[in-house]
Amino acid sequence: MSGAAGADRLWGMTSHRAPKPVAHPSRPVERAVTVGLVLAVLAGVGWIGGMIYTVAGWGL
């Protein structure tokens, strides 16, 4: 490839990508992952609350 022929070929390439499939929320694996993440966040918030309660109790 030399000169204009190479540039023409480069610009002639398509950039089309296949559409991504739409994820359905009714899939059991995705639902299980979402439930697990929600439970993990709740456990983390509870743990932080417990630590704050413990540290606040030390001063009394």
According to the 3-state scheme, what is the secondary structure of the chain? CCCHHHHHHHHCCCCCCCCCCCCCCCCHHHHHHHHHHHHHHHHHHHHHHHHHHHHHHHCC
Confidence (pLDDT) at 31: 87
- pTM for the whole structure: 0.51
**DSSP 8-state symbol, 51:** H
Confidence (pLDDT) at 3: 53
Q: Which residues of the chain have pLDDT under 70?
A: 1-15, 21-26, 60
- With a CB cutoff of 8 Å and minimum separation 6, the contacts of 31 are 25
Percent of the chain topping pLDDT 90: 40
Confidence (pLDDT) at 40: 98
Q: Using one digit for the tens of pLDDT, what is the confidence trace for 44-55?
A: 999 999 999 999
Rounded Cα gap, residues 40 and 45, in angstroms: 9
